[in-house]
């Protein structure tokens, strides 16, 4: 009797993540293609998936899909439930697994899961569904450098084999899943750059890209979706984009492109165009279904400006383009709760990328400075002290050595330090609430 072929299920929700997977596949990180049946499981995680840009509508998606044997839409599979909220009840797991094995033609073949964000659905739901399967993670951007969002069930944690990630900050080691002994593994730079070039090739003849390139821009402004996340108001986010434009103009750029985030709401007023006119800048908005990296390939700007977007580091690491940040100080003040998973990406960018409005010149950051790792580890401990208790003494020493340093203090909230009874907190207040929380296993 012939053995059932291995099934590899790759769960993905963004084109950037799909490109990371493609690079890992191309570099042999998942073995030879003929050794397994590869399924791309696409999840649309937007709050209202029906109104958001679908992954399969992104330019270059077809090139990525060619690496897989088939594609399955997770939203359709669990309809009418939302992928961010649905998970099987424990008592129903055997039934649901049989349902999906039958629907997807898996029979009784062994399944390997390759997922993003194991702490949340749909990855967590898949790990529960295929309870006997090994789990591998890949990191979609800068969040791998931060701690795990919360404690994983032991039934999942013991099955995680490795974390694949891009070398976006050379020399900085991910904290994600470190508490479980999961080893990070780099996706080769050359493989990822080749995939990005392949995606950009698919944009040949795209009218938006052609128009943007014809404008001969020298700077690219990256929008994020901070208002949608409740970090800024819509007006404040619009003002942030205006600050980016004015900063680029002050640096001597007369033609710029604004690239909204693919999942950001389609809300633009005339304010950005008015600011461009006032600054004597030619503005082109590139709001098609394109990765920012496609523009890097086609136009090679001399400056990329953003808040704390992963695409900023992609520009510097893979294209040697100088980058600058705007607005990170405001977001550091607003970001709540302290354990918000955006905190480490924000901290990293704030620490190593020049501030465009301060008069610093844009730069290619290069390898992580020696000050970055201890900062990230201290912030990571303060975010998730229960997951990283062994970092407490290191964090206390770090904070003690930097008492009175405003540049360091901005990364740590006084109230949080007080709760954790760490240097920089209010020493007059006891940390009894935290101790009680830790004693009963609650969230810090």
pLDDT at 432 (0 to 100): 52
Could you read off the pLDDT of 175-185 as tens digits, one per residue?
999 999 999 99
Lowest mean pLDDT among 145-159, 224-238, 247-261, 376-390: 224-238
305 backbone dihedrals φ, ψ, rounded to 5°: -120, 140
Cα–Cα distance for residue pair 64/188, rounded to 1 Å: 17
Q: At what angle do helices 343-352 and 372-383 cross, to 10 degrees?
A: 160
What homologous superfamily does CATH list for 205-358?
Answer: Nitrogenase molybdenum iron protein domain (3.40.50.1980)
Query: What size, in residues, is the chain?
Result: 444
Contact yes or no for 110/133 (Cβ under 8 A):
yes
Best CATH choice for the domain 6-192 from the list 2.40.160, 3.40.50, 1.10.10, 3.30.1070: 3.40.50
Residue 415 belongs to what H/E stretch? helix 414-419
pLDDT at 145 over 90: yes
Q: What are the DSSP calls for 142-155, one per residue?
A: GGGGSPPSSPPPHH
Could you read off the pLDDT of 250-301 as tens digits, one per residue?
999 999 999 987 666 555 567 899 999 999 999 999 888 899 999 999 888 9
State the alpha helices, DSSP H only, in 58-107. Answer: 61-65, 74-78, 93-103
Q: CATH 3.40.50.1980 region(s) of the chain?
A: 205-358
DSSP 8-class letter at 275:
H
CB count in 10 Å sphere of residue 251: 18
pLDDT at 51 over 70: no
User: What's the burial of 320, exposed, middle or buried (CB within 10 Å: 0-12/13-18/19+)?
Assistant: exposed
Could you read off the pLDDT of 365-405 as tens digits, one per residue?
999 999 999 999 999 999 999 999 999 999 999 999 999 89
pLDDT at 215 over 60: yes
Sole residue written with tokens 């014809």 = 214
List beta partners, residue 285: 258
First to last CA, the chain: 53
The answer, as to whether pTM is greater than 0.85, is: yes
pLDDT at 440 over 90: no
The stretch 119-135 carries a mean pLDDT of 95
Query: Residue 217's closest CA among 341, 300, 144?
Result: 300
State the alpha helices, DSSP H only, in 188-269. Answer: 189-201, 207-214, 234-250
**Residues with Cβ < 8 Å from 395, sequence gap 6 or more?**
377, 378, 381, 382, 422
pLDDT band, residue 426 (cuts 50/70/90):
confident
């Amino acid at each position: 009797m012939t053995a059932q072929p291995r099934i590899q299920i790759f769960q993905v929700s963004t084109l950037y993540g799909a490109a990371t997977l493609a690079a890992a596949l191309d570099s042999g990180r998942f073995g030879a293609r003929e050794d397994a049946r590869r399924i791309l499981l696409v999840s649309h995680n937007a709050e209202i998936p029906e109104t958001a840009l679908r992954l399969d509508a992104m330019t270059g998606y077809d090139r990525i899909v060619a690496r897989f044997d088939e594609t399955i839409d997770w939203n359709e599979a669990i309809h009418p439930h939302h992928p961010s909220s649905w998970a099987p009840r424990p008592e129903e797991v055997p039934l649901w697994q049989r349902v999906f094995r039958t629907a997807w033609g898996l029979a009784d073949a062994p399944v390997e899961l390759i997922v993003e964000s194991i702490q949340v659905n749909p990855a967590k739901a898949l790990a529960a569904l295929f309870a006997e399967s090994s789990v591998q993670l890949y990191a979609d951007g800068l969040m791998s450098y931060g701690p795990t969002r919360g404690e994983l069930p032991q039934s999942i944690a013991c099955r995680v084999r490795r974390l694949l990630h891009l070398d976006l900050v050379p020399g900085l080691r991910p904290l994600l899943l470190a508490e479980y002994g999961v080893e990070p593994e780099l996706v080769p730079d050359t493989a990822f750059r080749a995939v990005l070039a392949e995606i950009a090739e698919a944009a040949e003849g795209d009218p938006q890209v052609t128009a943007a390139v014809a404008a001969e821009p020298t700077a690219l402004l990256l929008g994020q979706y901070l208002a949608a996340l409740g970090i800024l108001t819509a007006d404040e986010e619009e003002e942030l984009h205006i600050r980016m434009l004015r900063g680029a103009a002050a640096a001597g750029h007369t033609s710029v492109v604004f690239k909204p985030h693919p999942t950001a709401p389609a809300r633009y007023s005339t304010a950005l165009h008015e600011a461009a006119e006032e600054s004597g800048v030619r503005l082109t908005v590139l709001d098609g279904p394109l990765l920012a990296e496609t523009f890097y390939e086609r136009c090679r700007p001399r400056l990329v400006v953003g808040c704390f977007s992963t695409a900023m580091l992609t520009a510097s690491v893979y294209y040697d383009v100088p980058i600058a940040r705007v607005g990170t100080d405001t977001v550091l003040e607003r970001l709540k709760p302290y354990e918000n998973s955006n905190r480490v990406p924000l901290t990293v960018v704030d620490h190593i990328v020049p501030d465009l409005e301060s008069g610093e010149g844009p730069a290619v950051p290069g390898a992580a400075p020696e000050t970055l790792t201890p900062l990230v580890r201290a912030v990571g401990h303060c975010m998730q002290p229960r997951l990283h208790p062994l970092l407490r003494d290191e964090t206390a020493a770090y904070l003690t050595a930097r008492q009175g340093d405003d540049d360091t203090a901005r990364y740590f909230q006084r109230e949080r330090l007080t709760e954790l009874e760490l240097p920089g907190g209010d020493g007059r207040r006891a940390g009894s609430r935290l101790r009680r929380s830790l004693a009963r296993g609650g969230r810090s």
